[in-house]
Amino acid sequence: MNNDLDLTPPKPLTQKQRMRMIKQAHKKVLKKQRLQDRIALRETRKLTKAVKKAGQHAPKNLDAFSEANMYYSDKEVDTFIKSSPMYEAYSETQELNFD
């Protein structure tokens, strides 16, 4: 029979070959570890940026809690009411005079 398979046991590895294989495996592990560290750092930077951005919008930073901005003036109230749809509906009913 003419078999293409070689069934002879492989030669044992030399010390140099084993060390080379160990070093290659170690490099792969380090490469994966560095990649994971970069990904984690990227995520940390994104979160830090999001927290900083959200910090500007925290209730303690809003101007609404300052004494000057706590109340509306009469002019601002009148402008708001007159621009509301409810006021428009009310003024239309006043014009119709249901008497």
Residue percentage of the chain with pLDDT more than 70: 78
Q: How far is CA 51 from CA 46, 63, 64, in A?
A: 9, 20, 21
pLDDT at 83: 86
d(C-alpha 59, C-alpha 73), whole Å: 22
pLDDT at 98: 64
Domain boundaries, the chain: 15-96
Q: What is the pLDDT of residues 57-92, one digit of tens each?
A: 666 666 666 676 677 788 888 888 888 888 888 888
CA angle 7, 12, 16 (to 5 degrees): 145
- Mean pLDDT of all residues in 6-10: 78
